[in-house]
Amino acid sequence: MRKFYLLISLISCFFYASAQTPSIRGKVYDMATNSTLPGAVVQLDGTGKQTVTDANGNFQFTGIEPGSHTIKIRFIGFDEIEKKVDVSADRTTTINIPLSTKANDLKEVSVFGSVNKESDEASRATEKNSNNLLNVVGAQAMQKSPDINAANVLQRVSGVTIQRNAGGDDAFAIIRGLEPRYNNVLVNGVSIASPDSKTRLVSLSVVPSDLLEKIEVNKTLLPEMEGDAIGGTVNMIFKDAADQRQFSVSSSIGYEQLFIDRKFLDFSKADIHTYSPSEMYGASYIAQPNDFTRSNLDFKSIQPPPSETFTFSYGDRFFNKKLGFIIGDTYQNNYFGSDVEGENGNADPKDPDHRPRANDIYNRSISSREILNNLIAHLDYKINDRNKIVLDNVLLYSRLEEASITADTSITGGNGGRTIPGTGPVSGIDQSSTTNQLIENLKLSGNHILGNHFKFDWYGAFSDAFARTPDQADINTNILITYDPATGTFTKTPEYFDEIDRVWAHNNDQDYDGAGNLTYKTTFGNAVLELKAGGLYRHKTRYNSEDEYILRPVANANGEKAEFTNIYDAQWTVYNPLGAGTFNINNYNLLENITTYYGQFKLSFPRLDIFGGVRSESTTQQVRIRADITNANGVDKDYTDILPSISFKYKLNDITNLRLAYFASIARPAFFELVPNNPPNSNGTVTKGNPDLLHTTANNYDLRYELFPKPDEQFFVGVYYKDLTNPIEYAYEGNSNAAVVYEPINAPSAKVAGAELAYTRFFGNIGISGNYAYNYSDVNALKVDRNNPSVNVYEHRMLVGASVHDLNVSLLYRNKKAGINAQLAYQYLGKTLVGIYPDNGDNYIQQPMSTLAFSADKTIGKHFAVFTKLNNLLNTHTTVVLHNFQNGNEVTKATYLFGIRYNY
Amino acid sequence: MKTNQISFWIAAIALVAMISSCSKKETTNTVKPVIPPSHPISAGNISGFIKGTLLTGSTYTVTADVYVKAGDTLLAQPGAIVVVKNNSQFIIQGVFQSMGSQAAPVSFNSDSNTPGTWGGFACDSAQAVTIQWTKILNTGGPDNTGSARRTLVVSAPIKVDLEDNWIENGQDDGLGLFGGCSITVLRNTIQSGGSTDGEAINIKTGAKGVVAYNVVFSQAGTGTKLETASVVTTAETNVDVYNNTYVSCGWRRGAAEPGRGVSAGVSARGNIYNNIIVNCYHGIEIFQDADVANVKYGNNLFYSTANTFVDATVTPNLIVDLRSGYYPAGAAGVPQSSDLISTAVGNNDPMFTSFDNGFLYVNGAPNSNDFHLKSGSPAIGKGNTSFTLANPSLAGGAAPDADMGAYPTDGKGNKH
């Protein structure tokens, strides 16, 4: 594989052309601020030559014919300009070209080729000229940052935090304190199918940042945008074909401090069966003990090899620049893990206040290997200046191999607890699992300018997400440690073999989308009116399948539970030899059709833009589960939302905007939440669906002041207020047999308000970039009255996922002459509500945390750069507290990464 | 003279006795019409939605799950015989009454007559459950999702009346009584249940009532377990547990999870009196997280037929000191002065009519022991009849006895 990449790099060297005279040299700058504009596209008409301005806004054409030439300059957010230049033989002609900000953004209508959209300047320009409230992170910023995937990038965006699971392989965006369920994730502007078995979410950690052109976080919606976002929309835009040949390749290796301090827990993947016995041999197959492998429960400590990443992208334009393409692939092989210790707690009746206290202590050690391979392909064809067709395909493959070992000691509870530290019943759970996941997003789109006033654009998309977890295997064992105070001795019983669970799960989510928009544009005096109408239809099908086998130990000759010595000597019987079949609560099918229409207007005066309109979103859903004769086996839902919006953008001057926006939006429940399942007949905690759950609607209000002192600088200050109806919260539902059952319910309402501040400024070589978000949220949600458990009470609290304070500060150093960039990135995240305790008065609170990361790169020669990315330098723990004890303390450690990059 | 007088008196008494024996007590015999059973169910295969009456002397074969809908009643007459195939179960959402008699018990068993071969009674959301003089054998097969099934489970605030039944050879819990149900569990024999786990009478989440005169023999886990819930979201479980006999319980689960005669944990409360606990791994365990102040106990007899139990299947061999397990260290329960606690083999031996002195038996082992008390048993006369029942209305007339155990000498106890 690598040899192939090397070959490409060699071939591309032949295309390299050398310089001749005469030539044109020039500088492009912003007329309003006099600052130079790096990344502007400069085209030499007639010869078809094209270049991009460098970091100082300079460009040069060499080897051109003497005589009259036309230079065309484009830069995002600025008016396109054409300039005539007379070139005489044997000398260099120098020109300075000022660009002025677009009086009216033509982005929507222009079908001209791409300009550099990856630079910081382009990001700021997009924010400045956008019709809605946006935060943008461009590829160059990501490259310079310590971040290697979309989740890491997003956590540095103003008002965005990341929700992670223990072990850290999942990462979802929380925007403005609103849980991932209230936000949507797009790829190239199209909704993405979810590989999650229960939710609509896509983990952002499976998207390496190397192939992204930019990430946009839309905080307000226009009628033309999909309405299922209350917190905001994350749009991951992958690389576009540039106007000239581009080739880049980079590679890095890294290591985790964790695996310097402890070993990595590995298991064999060789024998894992892809399909469960019932999937292999049919539903009536009686599974035998030997149908279940042992080597994937044989854990070994190893020293892991370094993590590695490899990325290449190649793009070019042919046929008089009409046909452009880019193809890119990024591969990451990461080893990571965490150690968690914590205490679970419940109310103790002896405490007069009935608050929870620790009754169980656990230790968990997780070792994960994640392989990511993303392949992107983009093809565009400009039929002429008025018509363009684009094909994008994004393929995100990930594989997670995870081993976790847990030791759980009861302090009190079921079979008694510990008497003194070091004693008690200890149950051990060792788990191995592998998950393969493939997400694809294929989009064909077109832009057509029809006459002087009309434009039509459309897309058709297919989005597919498939995940398979073959044989997630858990082995449960237990021992009891007792202490005899008389003799002062600890006694440990043998380790007993309790149970083995084997789960095979897979799911598939498929969307077919079709959308079309018609734009009409006209002018009245100095006002421009743009009318736009369109619609989108999405047909989604999803299935989720899970099969589970329980293996129970063979009792020894005396009839007693057998001792566990090792996995190869363990003897078991298959307790449910037919598997869990279709009755598993995670088996369901879902169909969802979404039909939307909208009409919107944009009325632009020289200093004021007014946007408004209305969107209609009709949703029909059909959920089906196994045909159980006494319980519901399906749910049909049908609803339509009318979502109005109005916003104003007042341009105080060329570098300042004041925006005011109102929009209505919705959030649809997670798929599993609608399934009318019955919780299994088990102990512990189970979650059931609630077919009566209503979707959430919200009214959103935003006010933001934006200042762009220089093309790569910004100062934003804004406030927002959101009023949610039927927010979705989890609450205690009741007890099913011995199990505690939770279900999603609608709280009557919730309110979210906050303020955001973002600031980027350079002082010579030193820059500072930062943002701060304050979030207030309040939901009046149902809880059990801890003093009178048969009664439910309402309690005001913040929303799950919400952090009160979120601060990011980065210290930047750039030295263009020396080719050095360096960045020290600090993040402070205030208290975050991460989970609901069923009784009133308490919740799971993640404690404030500070993280520090560092990155640096240095260019070597014209094409090479070396870089380093060092993360979690403070070895920050994630600590969650319930009442007065530590519910969880997850220890992750620093990661070190070094690499080299080649750009042509 | 004296002799004559004596003779006279003898004759007089004999005469009075003769006359009085000639008198006849009044008898009444109302002539009733023969009321046919409601919805008689014909013998043969049954499955699906069923209501009506399982008839005396008829044999039924359950071929697939049987559902009793809310509002419907399934009633078994004395002597009805039900054979369950295909790991099926009864799902009761209505009323279930199994009305066997001492002379003609009702029988529910699987066709294969081996532990764990059918599902038992899922009465989670039933409206009422009454089971009398009924044999329920060999339940505990997994349900459709792979979860273990109790012989009988109730999870709703309804009345559950279980009297004089045999519950034998299940693979999981015998009785799972949850969700605030009101229970009357009297004079049942629960034996040889639980493969390597499972309690005989598992009472949680706010259930209340009486567990008395039951015999529990060789349960894998605990004889009678009281718990509320790991999350305090219900009223406290509050049960009177008296005059039960627990023998050889708690061994099959292994030393890491020893079973008990009776345990009270996680905010449970109750009264634990007059029980005989013999050869169990642990005796009475009142966990620290129970509602300790409101768990009252005493007048219980603890005995072991050996001083230690040696488990030779593990390395190194495990030696269990049986007498230190009557009230295990670390728990809140402590010996009471009213208890009879054996200090040596022979001391405070309850003197069962017959007992093979075993500790660990296999799941489904036969029980040929007789736990009636021989005369001279120290358990006789040592019971407490004056403690205050928490749930007197659920005692079904079975008051605590002056003798300990399930077989008091006045014959008011277990009739098996």
Q: Per-residue b/e over A769-793, b at no fewer than 16 CB within 10 Å?
A: bbbbbbbebebebbbbbbeebeebe
CB A806, CB A851: distance < 8 Å? no
For residue A104, pLDDT beyond 90: no
Cβ of residue A485 closer than 8 Å to a chain B Cβ: yes
* pLDDT number for residue A6: 42
Q: Give the least confident one: A703-707, B286-290, B394-398.
A: B286-290
Chain A, nearest residue to B203 by Cα: A738
Side-chain half-sphere exposure of B196, counting CA atoms within 13 A: 27
Across A830-857, average pLDDT: 92
* pLDDT number for residue A731: 85
Cβ of residue B235 closer than 8 Å to a chain A Cβ: yes
| Residue pointed to by tokens 């020289």 | A606
Cβ of residue B164 closer than 8 Å to a chain A Cβ: no
| Mutation for B interface: A472, A474, A493, A733, most B CBs within 10 A | A493
| Of the partner residues B232, B254, B255, the one whose CB lies closest to the CB of residue A347 | B232
d(CA B167, CA B182): 20
Q: A3: exposed, middle or buried (C-beta count within 10 Å: 0-12, 13-18, 19+)?
A: exposed
Across B152-166, average pLDDT: 95
Across B201-218, average pLDDT: 94
d(CA A713, CA A557): 77
CB B171, CB B115: distance < 8 Å? yes
A540-589 residue pLDDT tens: 999 999 999 999 999 888 888 999 999 999 999 999 898 887 677 788 99
The percent of chain A in helix, strand and coil, each rounded to the nearest 5, is 5, 60, 35
For residue A787, give both structure tokens. 């003093």
Q: Give the least confident one: A130-139, A623-632, B192-201, B273-282.
A: A623-632
What mean pLDDT is reported for chain A? 88
For residue A12, pLDDT beyond 50: no
B90-126 residue pLDDT tens: 999 999 999 999 999 999 999 999 999 999 999 988 9
CB contact under 8 A, A559 and B67: no
Cβ of residue B33 closer than 8 Å to a chain A Cβ: no
CB A622, CB A581: distance < 8 Å? no
For residue A48, pLDDT beyond 70: no
Amino acid at A108: E
Nearest to A21 by CA among A65, A73, A78: A65
DSSP H/E element including A144: helix A139-144
The reply to whether omega before B408 is within 30° of 0 (cis) is no
- Find residues 714-773 of chain A whose CB sits inside 8 Å of chain B: 732, 734-738, 740
| Mutation for B interface: A284, A351, A483, A561, most B CBs within 10 A | A561
Cβ of residue B317 closer than 8 Å to a chain A Cβ: no
CB A540, CB A511: distance < 8 Å? yes
A182-237 residue pLDDT tens: 999 999 999 999 999 889 999 998 888 889 999 999 999 999 999 999 999 999 99
Q: A821: exposed, middle or buried (C-beta count within 10 Å: 0-12, 13-18, 19+)?
A: buried
The reply to whether omega before A22 is within 30° of 0 (cis) is yes
Name the pLDDT band for A14 (thresholds 50, 70, 90): very low
Cβ of residue A416 closer than 8 Å to a chain B Cβ: yes
- β-sheet bridge partners, residue A302: A264
A708-767 residue pLDDT tens: 998 888 999 999 999 999 999 988 887 766 677 889 999 989 999 999 999 999 998 999
Chain A, nearest residue to B154 by Cα: A737
Cβ of residue A632 closer than 8 Å to a chain B Cβ: no
CA torsion sign, A783 to A787 to A790 to A793? negative
For residue A5, pLDDT beyond 60: no
Count other Cβ atoms within 10 Å, centred on residue A150: 26
8-state DSSP, A280: H
Nearest to A672 by CA among A589, A583, A580: A589
Q: End-to-end distance of chain B based on CA atoms, in angstroms?
A: 56
Question: What Cα–Cα distance (Å) separates residue A415 from each residue in A348, A429, A480, B80, B330?
Answer: 16, 17, 10, 39, 12
8-state DSSP, A37: -
* pLDDT number for residue A409: 85
Name the pLDDT band for A680 (thresholds 50, 70, 90): low
| Mutation for A interface: B121, B125, B139, B196, most A CBs within 10 A | B196
Amino acid at A132: N
Instruction: Rounding to the nearest 10 degrees, give the CA dihedral for residues B78, B406, B155, B51.
Output: 0
CB A687, CB A670: distance < 8 Å? no
Cβ of residue B147 closer than 8 Å to a chain A Cβ: yes
DSSP H/E element including A480: strand A454-484
Across B224-252, average pLDDT: 87
8-state DSSP, A681: S
Helix (H, G, I), strand (E, B) or coil at B264: strand
Write down the pTM of the prediction.
0.85
* List of chain A residues whose C-beta atoms are within 8 Å of the C-beta of residue B330: 416-419, 423, 482-483
* pLDDT number for residue A4: 43
Across A105-112, average pLDDT: 39
For residue A203, give both structure tokens. 């983990």
* pLDDT number for residue B46: 96
Cβ of residue A514 closer than 8 Å to a chain B Cβ: no
Count other Cβ atoms within 10 Å, centred on residue B398: 18
Cβ of residue B332 closer than 8 Å to a chain A Cβ: no
d(CA A571, CA A334): 35
Name the pLDDT band for B5 (thresholds 50, 70, 90): confident
8-state DSSP, A205: G
* List of chain A residues whose C-beta atoms are within 8 Å of the C-beta of residue B197: 561
* pLDDT number for residue A615: 96
CB contact under 8 A, A555 and B363: yes
A262-274 residue pLDDT tens: 999 999 999 999 9
* List of chain A residues whose C-beta atoms are within 8 Å of the C-beta of residue B315: 494, 563
The dihedrals phi and psi of B232, each to the nearest 5 degrees, come to -75, 100
Chain A, nearest residue to B233 by Cα: A789
CA torsion sign, A268 to A274 to A280 to A285? positive
Q: Report ipTM for this prediction.
A: 0.84
Cβ of residue B51 closer than 8 Å to a chain A Cβ: no
Count other Cβ atoms within 10 Å, centred on residue A420: 12
- Find residues 237-266 of chain A whose CB sits inside 8 Å of chain B: none
* pLDDT number for residue B270: 95
* pLDDT number for residue B232: 58
* List of chain B residues whose C-beta atoms are within 8 Å of the C-beta of residue A485: 329
CB contact under 8 A, B252 and A416: no
Side-chain half-sphere exposure of A392, counting CA atoms within 13 A: 22
Helix (H, G, I), strand (E, B) or coil at A237: strand
* pLDDT number for residue B3: 55
For residue B360, give both structure tokens. 């660990």
Side-chain half-sphere exposure of B379, counting CA atoms within 13 A: 33
* List of chain B residues whose C-beta atoms are within 8 Å of the C-beta of residue A680: 143, 145, 147
Rg of the Cα trace of chain A? 30
- Find residues 368-397 of chain A whose CB sits inside 8 Å of chain B: none
Name the pLDDT band for A367 (thresholds 50, 70, 90): very high
Sheet architecture: strand order including A728-736 = A685-687, A739-746, A728-736
For residue A697, pLDDT beyond 90: yes
